[in-house]
Structure 1
Amino acid sequence: MGVHGLTSYVEGNHQFFTDMRFRDCRLVIDGCSLYFRLYFNSGLDQARGGDYDTFAVLVRQFFAALSECNVKPFVVLDGGMDQTDKKFKTLQERTQSKIQEAHSLSRGSHGSVLPLLTREVFLQVLSELGVAFVQCISEADFEIASLAKHWGCPVLTNDSDFYIFDLRGGYLPFSFFQWNNISGKAPERYIPALLFTVNHFCSHFNHMNKQLLPLFAVVTGNDYTPAKITERFFRRVELERVPVGRKSGRRCSPRIESFLLWLAQFTSPVDALEEVLEILGGQQKENFHTQLSAGIQDYQIPRTSILPQYFSSAQPALPNTQGLPAALISQPEWLLRAFASGKLPSLVLNVLVLQKVLLVPQVENTHQPSSHITSLSIRKTIYSLLLFEKARQDSQRQQNVTQRGRGREDLNRQSQGIGGQQCDNLCVVDEYDRQDLNLKKNRVEAKLPNSVQELNLATIDKAPAQVRLQVLLGTLGMMDHLLEPLPPHLRLPVCVTYFWKNNSKPKPCHPRLQAMLLGLVYGELSWRTTYPDDPLYCSKAAASVCQRLSLLRVNPGQKTGLELGVAHLFSQWQSCMLAGIYLNQLLCFPLPEPRYAWVFSGTLLHGLEAAIRGGHQPASLLAEDTGALQLYSILLMALTGSALSATPRMSRGGRRIKAQQRGRGNAGRGPGNEGRGRARRGNRSRGMMPADSNLENRFALLKFE
Structure 2
Amino acid sequence: MGIRGLMSFVEDHSNEFFIDLKLRNTKLIIDGYALFHRLSFSSGLELRYGGDYDSFADIVHKFFESLFACNIFPYVVLDGGCDISDKKLSTIKDRAREKIHMAHNLSVGGGGCVCPLLTREVFIQVLIKLQVSFVQSFSEADRDIMTLANHWNCPVLSSDSDFCIFDLKTGFCPLNSFQWRNVNTVKGTRDYYIPAKCFSLSAFCQHFSNMNRALLPLFAVLCGNDYIHLPVVEIFLSKVHLPSGSTNSKGRRHHRVLGLLSWLSHFAGPAEALDHVLKCLPKKDRENVKELLGCSMEEYQQSHVKLQDFFQCGTYTCPDALRLGLPEWVLGDLAHGQLSPFISDALVLRRTILHTQVENMQRPNAHRISQPIRQVIYGLLLNASPHLENMSRNVLPSQPLAFSEVERASKNIKTSIVDAVGLPKDHFNLDKLPKLSLARRQRLLLETLKVKQTSLDCVPDLLKLPVAVCCYWLQHTEGTAKLHHLQALLLGMLMGPLHAMTNSPGKEGLQENGAKKLYEELQRVKKQTQPDRKLDLDTAHIFCQWQSCLQMALYLSQLLSTPFPEPDLTRLYSGSLVHSLCQQLLGSTSVETLLSMCLEAEQLYEHLFSATKSYAPAELFLPKSKSNSKRKRQKKKGASWLKNTAGTSSDTRCAYEGSNRFGVLMVENLEEHSGTAELE
> Same fold, TM exceeding 0.5?
yes
In the alignment, which residue of structure 2 is the partner of 1:307? 307
Instruction: From the superposition, tell whether residues 538 and 33 of structure 1 become closer, same or farther in structure 2 (CA, over 3 Å).
Output: farther
Q: CA deviation at 1:109?
A: 1.1
In the alignment, which residue of structure 2 is the partner of 1:235? 238
Q: 1:345 aligns with which of 340, 343, 366?
A: 340
1:513 aligns to 2:451 (yes or no): no
Instruction: From the superposition, tell whether residues 631 and 270 of structure 1 become closer, same or farther in structure 2 (CA, over 3 Å).
Output: same
In the alignment, which residue of structure 2 is the partner of 1:445? 419
For 2:199 and 2:504, the matched residues in 1 are separated by 41
Q: CA deviation at 1:526?
A: 1.9
Other structure's SS at 1:552 match: helix
Q: 1:595 aligns with which of 549, 552, 568?
A: 568
In the alignment, which residue of structure 2 is the partner of 1:215? 218
Q: 1:569 aligns with which of 531, 539, 542?
A: 542
Instruction: From the superposition, tell whether residues 693 and 531 of structure 1 become closer, same or farther in structure 2 (CA, over 3 Å).
Output: closer
For 2:166 and 2:65, the matched residues in 1 are separated by 29
Other structure's SS at 1:298 match: helix
Q: CA deviation at 1:361?
A: 0.2
Q: 2:597 aligns with which of 610, 624, 631?
A: 624
Q: CA deviation at 1:533?
A: 7.4
For 1:252 and 1:661, the matched residues in 2 are separated by 64
For 2:230 and 2:140, the matched residues in 1 are separated by 21
**One-letter identity of the residue aligned with 1:367:** Q
% identical aligned pairs: 38
Q: CA deviation at 1:660?
A: 12
Task: Note the alpha carbon deviations across 1:501-546, whole angstroms, 9 max, x for none.
Answer: 1112334211111111110012321243224477888657212111
Q: 2:642 aligns with which of 654, 671, 678?
A: 671
Q: CA deviation at 1:176?
A: 0.7
Q: CA deviation at 1:205?
A: 1.4
For 1:206 and 1:81, the matched residues in 2 are separated by 37
> Counterparts of 1:159-308 in structure 2 under 5 Å?
159-185=160-186, 187-241=190-244, 253-301=254-302, 306-308=306-308
In the alignment, which residue of structure 1 is the partner of 2:667? 704
1:324 aligns to 2:295 (yes or no): no
In the alignment, which residue of structure 2 is the partner of 1:479? 452
1:688 aligns to 2:659 (yes or no): no
Q: CA deviation at 1:554?
A: 5.4
CA contact (8 A) 1:220 1:256 kept: yes
For 2:96 and 2:245, the matched residues in 1 are separated by 35
For 2:278 and 2:634, the matched residues in 1 are separated by 84
**One-letter identity of the residue aligned with 2:378:** Y
In the alignment, which residue of structure 2 is the partner of 1:649? none
Q: CA deviation at 1:277?
A: 1.7
For 2:636 and 2:282, the matched residues in 1 are separated by 87
For 1:181 and 1:540, the matched residues in 2 are separated by 39
Single out whichever of 529-538 and 152-161 deviates more from structure 2.
Answer: 529-538
CA contact (8 A) 1:206 1:264 kept: yes
1:86 aligns to 2:57 (yes or no): no
For 2:329 and 2:253, the matched residues in 1 are separated by 52
**One-letter identity of the residue aligned with 1:289:** K
CA contact (8 A) 1:236 1:280 kept: no
TM-score, reference length from structure 2: 0.88
Instruction: From the superposition, tell whether residues 557 and 145 of structure 1 become closer, same or farther in structure 2 (CA, over 3 Å).
Output: farther
> Counterparts of 1:108-147 in structure 2 under 5 Å?
108-147=109-148
CA contact (8 A) 2:462 2:666 kept: no
Instruction: From the superposition, tell whether residues 263 and 540 of structure 1 become closer, same or farther in structure 2 (CA, over 3 Å).
Output: farther
Q: CA deviation at 1:82?
A: 0.7
In the alignment, which residue of structure 2 is the partner of 1:604? 577
How many correspondences in the alignment? 639
**One-letter identity of the residue aligned with 2:350:** Q
Single out whichever of 479-488 and 547-556 deviates more from structure 2.
Answer: 547-556
CA contact (8 A) 1:109 1:559 kept: no
Computing the radius of gyration from Cα coordinates, the structure with the larger value is 1
Other structure's SS at 1:105 match: helix
CA contact (8 A) 2:407 2:414 kept: yes
Task: Note the alpha carbon deviations across 1:380-403, whole angstroms, 9 max, x for none.
Answer: 1111011135589969xx9xxxxx
CA contact (8 A) 1:147 1:308 kept: yes
For 2:409 and 2:290, the matched residues in 1 are separated by 40
Instruction: From the superposition, tell whether residues 424 and 673 of structure 1 become closer, same or farther in structure 2 (CA, over 3 Å).
Output: farther
**One-letter identity of the residue aligned with 1:168:** K
**One-letter identity of the residue aligned with 2:592:** A
Q: CA deviation at 1:299?
A: 1.1
CA contact (8 A) 2:446 2:452 kept: yes
Task: Note the alpha carbon deviations across 1:439-473, whole angstroms, 9 max, x for none.
Answer: 111111112258x8732211111111011000011
For 1:393 and 1:60, the matched residues in 2 are separated by 40
Other structure's SS at 1:704 match: helix
Q: 1:376 aligns with which of 342, 364, 371?
A: 371
Instruction: From the superposition, tell whether residues 700 and 76 of structure 1 become closer, same or farther in structure 2 (CA, over 3 Å).
Output: closer
1:613 aligns to 2:586 (yes or no): yes
Other structure's SS at 2:65 match: helix
1:356 aligns to 2:354 (yes or no): no
For 2:151 and 2:448, the matched residues in 1 are separated by 46
Instruction: From the superposition, tell whether residues 198 and 258 of structure 1 become closer, same or farther in structure 2 (CA, over 3 Å).
Output: same
For 2:516 and 2:398, the matched residues in 1 are separated by 54
CA contact (8 A) 2:382 2:389 kept: no
CA contact (8 A) 1:388 1:427 kept: no
Instruction: From the superposition, tell whether residues 447 and 544 of structure 1 become closer, same or farther in structure 2 (CA, over 3 Å).
Output: same
Other structure's SS at 2:184 match: coil
Other structure's SS at 2:421 match: coil
Task: Note the alpha carbon deviations across 1:161-214, whole angstroms, 9 max, x for none.
Answer: 000001011000101110110111454211000001211211111211111111
In the alignment, which residue of structure 1 is the partner of 2:382? 387
For 2:453 and 2:283, the matched residues in 1 are separated by 69
Instruction: From the superposition, tell whether residues 277 and 26 of structure 1 become closer, same or farther in structure 2 (CA, over 3 Å).
Output: same
TM-score, reference length from structure 1: 0.85
CA contact (8 A) 2:17 2:201 kept: no
For 1:70 and 1:276, the matched residues in 2 are separated by 48
Instruction: From the superposition, tell whether residues 550 and 104 of structure 1 become closer, same or farther in structure 2 (CA, over 3 Å).
Output: same
Q: CA deviation at 1:368?
A: 1.1
Other structure's SS at 1:551 match: helix
Instruction: From the superposition, tell whether residues 672 and 510 of structure 1 become closer, same or farther in structure 2 (CA, over 3 Å).
Output: farther
In the alignment, which residue of structure 2 is the partner of 1:7? 7
Instruction: From the superposition, tell whether residues 500 and 641 of structure 1 become closer, same or farther in structure 2 (CA, over 3 Å).
Output: closer
For 1:42 and 1:116, the matched residues in 2 are separated by 17
Instruction: From the superposition, tell whether residues 131 and 199 of structure 1 become closer, same or farther in structure 2 (CA, over 3 Å).
Output: same
Q: CA deviation at 1:638?
A: 1.1
For 2:644 and 2:423, the matched residues in 1 are separated by 32
Q: 2:470 aligns with which of 489, 497, 509?
A: 497
Q: CA deviation at 1:701?
A: 3.1
In the alignment, which residue of structure 2 is the partner of 1:55? 56
CA contact (8 A) 2:527 2:576 kept: yes
Single out whichever of 162-171 and 429-438 deviates more from structure 2.
Answer: 429-438
In the alignment, which residue of structure 1 is the partner of 2:677? none
Instruction: From the superposition, tell whether residues 467 and 284 of structure 1 become closer, same or farther in structure 2 (CA, over 3 Å).
Output: same
Instruction: From the superposition, tell whether residues 204 and 534 of structure 1 become closer, same or farther in structure 2 (CA, over 3 Å).
Output: farther
Aligned-residue CA RMSD in angstroms? 2.9
Q: CA deviation at 1:232?
A: 1.7
In the alignment, which residue of structure 2 is the partner of 1:405? none
In the alignment, which residue of structure 2 is the partner of 1:418? none
